[in-house]
Structure 1
Amino acid sequence: MNARDIRSLDVGMLRTFDALMRERSVSRAAQRLFLSQPAVSASLTRLREVFGDPLFTRMPHGVAPTARAEALAPQVEQLLAGMARLLEPQQDFDPATSNRIFRVAGSDFASRWLLAPLSRELVEAGSAIRILWEPTQTGSIAERLRKGEIDLAVIARIHRPQDMQTEVLYEDHYVYVTRRDHPQAGEPVTLESFCAVPQVFLGYGTSTLDDLIDEELARRGMRRHAQLAVSSFGQILHQLRCSDHAAVLGRRVAQAFASELAIRALPLELPRYQSMVCWDGGSSGDVGVEWLRGGVVGISVSGALA
């Protein structure tokens, strides 16, 4: 690239390139950057002129990077990371003067108790910070943190992950729930009734919890009626309200909807779980991520999760 080309390149164009590499779609890249699709398309046109290459070719369901784009991708990623470190003052992070976009992965239940207090703080500070909340079901959390696709994750696990940095927010146990007027709501839960009543799950087939339950039942020669697998706690609660299904939930999740649910002890022993905030070790010097992590921990300490 000659000197004229370098002067034609700006940070916004690099961010567009990076978003297109990650999303492989102009519309999704626009959403990621909080820009319009025409703005992203215009930035891509300028990128093509600067690099003298199409960079991304149109496909039936998005765009595909050219060989030139694939070669540029790691260099652009490194440049953006270096600029972020350069531009963030190495002192206390001030949300009032920042316009960063933070990406957090977590369940809809975690967003229920985190986003309201976080957004209140941002409004009170007059901050231009934007927070994008994403589901945790897509891809490895540790890998997404390492690549910078997300800044933080808020997850619940029986076993504490070893491939990322973590801080425990709270520890809890599992309970058995149905709607309050369920035909069996007033009866103790036995292994037989636990297996007989159809259950709704969060991402069944991908969780340690479900594996543990099924293994424990199998040792006793029993099997439960695993009928519906969904992707959010909101879907579980809707199904419980509208049917005779049951679910195994964390106690704090169930207690948040205690007016609607019959909450009972499980008929089998399960390990406790921990809710935790996770981040990549490489971001430890990022004062913005440290501020956000501190805010999440602070909400937990304040008792907002009780």
Structure 2
Amino acid sequence: MEVAVRDIDLTQVNLNLLVYLDTLLTEKSVTRAAHRLGITQSAMSHNLRQLRDIFGDPLLVRGKGGMQPTPRAEQLVLPLRSGLQSLRRTLEGESTFDAAASTRRFVLAAGDAVAMLLLPPLMERLQESGPNVDLDVVPFDGRRYAGQLETGEVDVAISAFFPDAPAVRMRKQRPASFVCVVREGHPAVGETLDLATWARLPHVLVSPQGTGGPGIVDRALAKHGLERRVAVRIRYFLAAPLLVSRTDLVLTTTRALAEMFAVDLPVRLIPPPVELPTFSIGTAWHERVAKDPANVWIRQQVAAALKAI
């Protein structure tokens, strides 16, 4: 079956419609899209009709829970947002970036643990070098981060683990190591933690993505023919040390994070009984902004803040 290829004359197209389409695909609601762009609902409905004529596709159809994008619309999301972002940067014409005078808002993607470690030193730097620069910090999602960087939805991602993705550049910034955390006065743990006790104790496991596969501790124990019991599996780093401080659970986590919690909680930090692999917290950005002055600047600030942790 042959599919006809349509030639579209851009001089006959209102390019503002692409902004409307991007907003419609984000909001999945004519009413919310109209409110976001400051136009009437009837005007947005008229724009949607024009877009359907241009693309020869319904784009959005009513479904359970609201309007849902068609397969054609889903294909448009990434190239549309990437194109609008490139056009925006072209019109802004930034060849330099004056951080001291800028009022730009950067979007960073980071998990809660990374955000807790990174944000205090990062904000200290921004107060000095970019006092009017603002930040939005959104959750890091390994399944979506590459698309978010491509479209400009996220400027820089910060994480310990990045799934491979085309056109995404990465740089390891700060080495990190693991430590075990138990409550003060734990009845089964003395000054050190032996392998058998480590395996026998109930563990709390932080899994930000909610996956249930074996982790670093499980693989280390398996080498010695041992298994552990994960008594609590959660997605939030903040909750884990609070649980440990009031129970007999043991947590194996990054030393920098554990040291932060040990300041305020009655917990002890103990080296793991076996050697665990080290890792690095790093940054990721899309290659199209590799030389963008503003993106280069915020990456430099993040890198310096990571070194200060």
| TM-score bucket of the superposed structures, by smaller chain | 0.7 to 0.9
Partner of 2:171: 167
- The Cα of 1:225 is off from its aligned counterpart by 1.2
**What letter corresponds to residue 26 of structure 2 in structure 1?**
A
Contact 2:97 2:293 in 1 (8 A): yes
Cα 1:5–1:130 shift into 2, 3 Å: farther
Query: Which secondary structure state, in structure 1, belongs to the residue aligned with residue 109 of structure 2?
Result: strand
2:262 matches 1:255: no
Partner of 2:272: 266
Partner of 2:287: 281
Q: Note the residue ranges of structure 2 that are not aligned, 5 or more in a row.
A: 1-7
Cα 1:133–1:78 shift into 2, 3 Å: closer
**What letter corresponds to residue 215 of structure 1 in structure 2?**
R
Cα 1:37–1:17 shift into 2, 3 Å: closer
TM-score, normalising length from structure 2?
A: 0.76
Cα 1:37–1:216 shift into 2, 3 Å: same
Partner of 1:80: 84
Cα 1:18–1:290 shift into 2, 3 Å: farther
Partner of 2:4: none
Cα 1:231–1:160 shift into 2, 3 Å: closer
Cα 1:285–1:266 shift into 2, 3 Å: same
Partner of 1:298: 304
Cα 1:39–1:196 shift into 2, 3 Å: farther
Partner of 2:48: 48
1:60-112 per-residue CA deviation (whole Å, 9 max, x = no partner) reads: 23431146634654553343032133034343323465555433221212212
Contact 1:174 1:272 in 2 (8 A): yes
C-alpha distance in structure 1 between counterparts of 2:111 and 2:9, whole Å: 47
Q: How many aligned residue pairs are there?
A: 292
C-alpha distance in structure 1 between counterparts of 2:77 and 2:141, whole Å: 25
Identity of aligned residues (%): 25
Report matched runs for 1:62-211 at 5 Å: 62-66=66-70, 69-70=73-74, 72-73=76-77, 76-95=80-99, 98=102, 100-119=104-123, 125=130, 127=132, 130-137=134-141, 139-157=143-161, 164-203=168-207, 206=211, 210-211=214-215
1:178-207 per-residue CA deviation (whole Å, 9 max, x = no partner) reads: 122332343421111111111111218749
Contact 2:193 2:270 in 1 (8 A): yes
Contact 1:58 1:64 in 2 (8 A): yes
TM-score, normalising length from structure 1?
A: 0.77
**TM-align CA RMSD:** 3.7
Partner of 2:20: 13
Cα 1:11–1:288 shift into 2, 3 Å: farther
Larger Rg: 2
1:148-188 per-residue CA deviation (whole Å, 9 max, x = no partner) reads: 4422111124x996864222322121111112233234342
Cα 1:194–1:25 shift into 2, 3 Å: farther
Cα 1:52–1:135 shift into 2, 3 Å: closer
